[in-house]
Amino acid sequence: MSILLDQNSKVIVQGITGRDGSFHAEKMVEYGTKVVGGVTPGKGGQQVVGIPVFNNVAEAKEKTAANVAVIYVPAKFAKDAMLEDIRAGIELIICITEGVPVLDMVEVRKAMVGKNIRLIGPNCPGAISPGKCKVGIMPGHIHKQGPIGVVSRSGTLTYEVVYNLTLSDIGQSSCVGLGGDPIIGTRFVDVLDMFMRDNETKGIVMVGEIGGADEQIAADYIKKNATKPIVGFIAGRTAPAGKRMGHAGAIISSGDSTAEAKREILKQAGVTVVDFPDEIPAVFKNKLK
Protein backbone atom coordinates (compact mmCIF):
# COMPACT_ATOMS: atom_id res chain seq x y z
CA MET A 1 0.00 0.00 0.00
CA SER A 2 0.88 3.68 0.01
CA ILE A 3 -0.78 6.82 1.34
CA LEU A 4 -2.41 9.68 -0.57
CA LEU A 5 -1.19 8.61 -4.04
CA ASP A 6 -1.02 5.39 -6.01
CA GLN A 7 -0.88 4.14 -9.59
CA ASN A 8 -4.59 4.92 -10.04
CA SER A 9 -4.36 8.61 -9.08
CA LYS A 10 -5.53 10.93 -11.88
CA VAL A 11 -3.83 14.33 -11.75
CA ILE A 12 -4.62 17.74 -13.21
CA VAL A 13 -2.02 20.52 -13.26
CA GLN A 14 -3.19 24.08 -12.53
CA GLY A 15 -0.91 26.55 -14.25
CA ILE A 16 0.26 23.95 -16.77
CA THR A 17 0.99 26.56 -19.47
CA GLY A 18 3.45 28.39 -17.21
CA ARG A 19 7.17 27.68 -16.96
CA ASP A 20 7.04 25.65 -13.72
CA GLY A 21 3.76 23.94 -14.47
CA SER A 22 4.81 22.69 -17.90
CA PHE A 23 8.27 21.59 -16.72
CA HIS A 24 7.01 19.59 -13.76
CA ALA A 25 4.02 18.19 -15.66
CA GLU A 26 6.49 16.65 -18.09
CA LYS A 27 8.61 15.25 -15.22
CA MET A 28 5.53 13.73 -13.59
CA VAL A 29 4.53 12.07 -16.86
CA GLU A 30 8.06 10.72 -17.31
CA TYR A 31 7.84 9.21 -13.81
CA GLY A 32 4.66 7.38 -14.74
CA THR A 33 2.09 9.61 -13.05
CA LYS A 34 -1.30 9.71 -14.79
CA VAL A 35 -1.46 13.42 -15.63
CA VAL A 36 -4.84 13.58 -17.33
CA GLY A 37 -5.22 17.31 -17.85
CA GLY A 38 -4.12 20.85 -17.17
CA VAL A 39 -5.99 24.03 -16.29
CA THR A 40 -5.26 27.58 -17.45
CA PRO A 41 -8.21 29.99 -17.85
CA GLY A 42 -8.57 31.14 -21.46
CA LYS A 43 -6.26 28.47 -22.86
CA GLY A 44 -8.65 25.55 -23.06
CA GLY A 45 -8.26 23.38 -26.14
CA GLN A 46 -4.47 23.63 -26.22
CA GLN A 47 -2.05 20.85 -25.33
CA VAL A 48 1.11 20.94 -23.23
CA VAL A 49 3.51 17.99 -23.60
CA GLY A 50 0.56 16.02 -24.97
CA ILE A 51 -1.71 16.89 -22.03
CA PRO A 52 -5.09 18.53 -22.82
CA VAL A 53 -5.66 21.98 -21.29
CA PHE A 54 -9.06 23.05 -19.90
CA ASN A 55 -10.39 26.48 -18.93
CA ASN A 56 -11.44 25.49 -15.40
CA VAL A 57 -11.22 22.69 -12.87
CA ALA A 58 -14.88 21.68 -13.06
CA GLU A 59 -14.56 21.04 -16.80
CA ALA A 60 -11.26 19.19 -16.33
CA LYS A 61 -12.74 16.94 -13.67
CA GLU A 62 -15.85 16.22 -15.72
CA LYS A 63 -13.81 15.26 -18.80
CA THR A 64 -11.01 13.32 -17.06
CA ALA A 65 -12.40 12.05 -13.71
CA ALA A 66 -9.36 13.61 -12.00
CA ASN A 67 -9.12 13.18 -8.22
CA VAL A 68 -5.84 15.04 -7.60
CA ALA A 69 -4.89 18.64 -8.44
CA VAL A 70 -1.43 20.19 -8.21
CA ILE A 71 -1.06 23.97 -8.21
CA TYR A 72 1.82 25.92 -9.80
CA VAL A 73 0.11 29.32 -10.17
CA PRO A 74 1.53 32.61 -8.79
CA ALA A 75 0.79 33.36 -5.12
CA LYS A 76 -1.90 35.97 -5.85
CA PHE A 77 -3.93 33.37 -7.76
CA ALA A 78 -3.32 30.40 -5.44
CA LYS A 79 -6.32 31.03 -3.20
CA ASP A 80 -8.71 31.04 -6.16
CA ALA A 81 -7.09 27.88 -7.52
CA MET A 82 -7.58 26.05 -4.22
CA LEU A 83 -11.15 27.30 -3.82
CA GLU A 84 -11.93 26.15 -7.36
CA ASP A 85 -10.66 22.66 -6.47
CA ILE A 86 -12.75 22.59 -3.31
CA ARG A 87 -15.91 23.60 -5.18
CA ALA A 88 -15.23 20.92 -7.81
CA GLY A 89 -14.77 18.24 -5.17
CA ILE A 90 -11.16 17.34 -5.95
CA GLU A 91 -10.17 14.81 -3.28
CA LEU A 92 -6.50 15.75 -2.92
CA ILE A 93 -5.08 19.23 -3.56
CA ILE A 94 -1.31 19.79 -3.54
CA CYS A 95 -0.29 23.46 -3.59
CA ILE A 96 3.36 24.00 -4.51
CA THR A 97 3.05 27.81 -4.63
CA GLU A 98 5.16 29.80 -2.16
CA GLY A 99 4.19 33.15 -0.63
CA VAL A 100 0.43 32.58 -0.30
CA PRO A 101 -0.91 35.27 2.10
CA VAL A 102 -1.97 34.01 5.53
CA LEU A 103 -5.44 35.57 5.23
CA ASP A 104 -5.94 33.74 1.94
CA MET A 105 -5.20 30.47 3.70
CA VAL A 106 -7.66 31.31 6.46
CA GLU A 107 -10.34 31.57 3.77
CA VAL A 108 -9.26 28.32 2.14
CA ARG A 109 -9.28 26.41 5.43
CA LYS A 110 -12.76 27.73 6.19
CA ALA A 111 -14.01 26.55 2.79
CA MET A 112 -12.71 23.02 3.51
CA VAL A 113 -14.69 22.57 6.73
CA GLY A 114 -17.06 19.61 6.50
CA LYS A 115 -15.73 18.45 3.13
CA ASN A 116 -13.90 15.19 2.42
CA ILE A 117 -10.95 17.01 0.84
CA ARG A 118 -7.27 16.97 1.78
CA LEU A 119 -4.87 19.83 1.08
CA ILE A 120 -1.07 19.45 1.12
CA GLY A 121 0.80 22.74 1.34
CA PRO A 122 1.05 25.48 0.29
CA ASN A 123 4.79 26.11 -0.07
CA CYS A 124 5.52 22.40 -0.26
CA PRO A 125 7.43 20.03 -2.58
CA GLY A 126 4.46 17.67 -2.98
CA ALA A 127 4.12 13.94 -2.36
CA ILE A 128 5.35 10.73 -3.90
CA SER A 129 4.63 7.02 -3.58
CA PRO A 130 7.80 5.62 -5.15
CA GLY A 131 7.25 3.51 -8.23
CA LYS A 132 3.56 4.49 -8.37
CA CYS A 133 2.93 8.22 -8.54
CA LYS A 134 4.78 11.53 -8.09
CA VAL A 135 2.96 14.86 -7.73
CA GLY A 136 4.98 18.02 -7.22
CA ILE A 137 8.61 18.94 -7.58
CA MET A 138 10.34 16.05 -5.82
CA PRO A 139 13.16 14.48 -7.90
CA GLY A 140 11.80 11.03 -8.66
CA HIS A 141 15.13 9.34 -9.37
CA ILE A 142 16.36 9.52 -5.76
CA HIS A 143 13.39 7.55 -4.44
CA LYS A 144 13.16 3.79 -4.05
CA GLN A 145 10.09 1.72 -3.21
CA GLY A 146 10.26 0.27 0.29
CA PRO A 147 9.04 0.29 3.92
CA ILE A 148 9.91 3.75 5.30
CA GLY A 149 7.40 6.60 5.37
CA VAL A 150 8.83 10.13 5.28
CA VAL A 151 7.00 13.29 6.40
CA SER A 152 8.73 16.65 6.48
CA ARG A 153 8.24 20.40 6.81
CA SER A 154 11.28 20.98 4.60
CA GLY A 155 11.59 20.17 0.90
CA THR A 156 15.37 20.03 0.58
CA LEU A 157 15.76 18.07 3.81
CA THR A 158 13.21 15.58 2.50
CA TYR A 159 15.46 15.03 -0.51
CA GLU A 160 18.53 14.63 1.71
CA VAL A 161 16.80 12.08 3.95
CA VAL A 162 15.46 10.12 0.97
CA TYR A 163 18.82 10.18 -0.83
CA ASN A 164 20.59 8.77 2.22
CA LEU A 165 17.95 6.07 2.70
CA THR A 166 18.16 5.04 -0.95
CA LEU A 167 21.98 4.98 -0.86
CA SER A 168 21.67 2.51 2.01
CA ASP A 169 19.20 0.40 -0.01
CA ILE A 170 16.29 1.39 2.24
CA GLY A 171 13.21 2.28 0.21
CA GLN A 172 10.26 4.50 1.01
CA SER A 173 6.53 3.71 1.08
CA SER A 174 5.44 7.34 0.60
CA CYS A 175 7.03 10.75 1.16
CA VAL A 176 5.00 13.84 2.02
CA GLY A 177 6.28 17.43 2.13
CA LEU A 178 3.92 19.38 4.39
CA GLY A 179 5.15 22.89 3.59
CA GLY A 180 6.76 25.55 5.74
CA ASP A 181 3.98 28.16 6.06
CA PRO A 182 2.16 29.03 9.31
CA ILE A 183 -1.20 27.82 7.92
CA ILE A 184 -1.11 24.61 5.91
CA GLY A 185 -3.68 22.00 5.04
CA THR A 186 -2.10 18.82 6.43
CA ARG A 187 0.10 18.45 9.50
CA PHE A 188 2.39 15.87 11.07
CA VAL A 189 -0.37 14.18 13.06
CA ASP A 190 -2.46 13.60 9.93
CA VAL A 191 0.35 11.90 8.02
CA LEU A 192 1.67 9.97 11.03
CA ASP A 193 -1.79 8.49 11.49
CA MET A 194 -1.91 7.45 7.81
CA PHE A 195 1.49 5.78 8.11
CA MET A 196 0.44 3.96 11.30
CA ARG A 197 -2.52 2.50 9.38
CA ASP A 198 -0.50 1.56 6.29
CA ASN A 199 0.53 -2.11 6.42
CA GLU A 200 3.54 -1.64 4.15
CA THR A 201 5.06 1.20 6.19
CA LYS A 202 7.35 -0.36 8.81
CA GLY A 203 9.10 2.78 10.07
CA ILE A 204 8.75 6.56 9.81
CA VAL A 205 11.07 9.55 9.40
CA MET A 206 9.75 12.87 10.71
CA VAL A 207 11.66 16.02 9.72
CA GLY A 208 10.69 19.13 11.69
CA GLU A 209 12.06 22.58 12.25
CA ILE A 210 11.86 25.54 14.61
CA GLY A 211 8.65 27.50 15.05
CA GLY A 212 5.06 26.53 15.71
CA ALA A 213 3.73 23.64 17.76
CA ASP A 214 3.25 20.89 15.17
CA GLU A 215 6.10 18.74 16.46
CA GLN A 216 4.84 19.07 20.04
CA ILE A 217 1.33 17.99 18.99
CA ALA A 218 2.86 15.11 17.02
CA ALA A 219 4.83 14.02 20.09
CA ASP A 220 1.62 13.76 22.09
CA TYR A 221 0.07 11.65 19.31
CA ILE A 222 3.17 9.43 19.19
CA LYS A 223 3.10 8.80 22.94
CA LYS A 224 -0.48 7.56 22.73
CA ASN A 225 -0.63 5.86 19.34
CA ALA A 226 2.76 4.95 17.87
CA THR A 227 3.20 1.28 16.99
CA LYS A 228 6.13 1.69 14.59
CA PRO A 229 9.67 3.04 15.07
CA ILE A 230 10.03 6.76 14.36
CA VAL A 231 13.27 8.63 13.69
CA GLY A 232 13.23 12.40 13.98
CA PHE A 233 15.40 15.28 12.83
CA ILE A 234 14.80 18.92 13.79
CA ALA A 235 16.39 21.67 11.69
CA GLY A 236 17.40 25.07 13.06
CA ARG A 237 19.47 24.28 16.15
CA THR A 238 21.57 27.43 15.65
CA ALA A 239 18.68 29.76 14.77
CA PRO A 240 18.39 32.88 16.97
CA ALA A 241 15.04 33.75 18.58
CA GLY A 242 12.85 36.21 16.68
CA LYS A 243 14.56 35.69 13.30
CA ARG A 244 12.67 33.83 10.58
CA MET A 245 14.79 31.10 9.04
CA GLY A 246 13.83 30.22 5.46
CA HIS A 247 10.18 29.24 5.83
CA ALA A 248 7.50 31.68 6.92
CA GLY A 249 6.62 29.38 9.81
CA ALA A 250 10.20 28.80 10.93
CA ILE A 251 10.50 31.41 13.66
CA ILE A 252 11.02 30.83 17.38
CA SER A 253 8.06 32.34 19.19
CA SER A 254 8.25 30.55 22.55
CA GLY A 255 10.58 28.40 24.61
CA ASP A 256 9.23 25.11 23.35
CA SER A 257 9.46 26.11 19.68
CA THR A 258 13.27 26.01 19.67
CA ALA A 259 15.02 23.09 18.00
CA GLU A 260 16.46 21.78 21.28
CA ALA A 261 13.08 21.91 23.02
CA LYS A 262 11.42 20.03 20.17
CA ARG A 263 14.19 17.44 20.12
CA GLU A 264 13.70 16.81 23.83
CA ILE A 265 9.90 16.60 23.54
CA LEU A 266 10.22 14.04 20.74
CA LYS A 267 12.77 12.01 22.67
CA GLN A 268 10.40 11.87 25.64
CA ALA A 269 7.73 10.52 23.28
CA GLY A 270 10.00 7.64 22.26
CA VAL A 271 11.32 9.06 18.98
CA THR A 272 14.96 8.38 18.11
CA VAL A 273 16.28 11.89 17.37
CA VAL A 274 19.43 12.19 15.24
CA ASP A 275 21.84 15.09 14.86
CA PHE A 276 22.29 14.75 11.09
CA PRO A 277 20.11 13.28 8.31
CA ASP A 278 22.82 10.86 7.16
CA GLU A 279 22.55 9.06 10.53
CA ILE A 280 18.99 7.91 9.80
CA PRO A 281 19.70 4.78 7.66
CA ALA A 282 21.89 3.21 10.35
CA VAL A 283 19.13 3.65 12.94
CA PHE A 284 16.63 1.83 10.75
CA LYS A 285 19.04 -0.98 9.91
CA ASN A 286 19.11 -1.72 13.65
CA LYS A 287 15.39 -1.18 14.28
CA LEU A 288 14.11 -3.20 11.33
CA LYS A 289 16.24 -6.31 11.91
Which residues participate in catalysis according to the annotation?
247
Give the C-alpha separation, 159 to 278, whole Å: 11
Residues paired with 35 in a beta bridge:
11
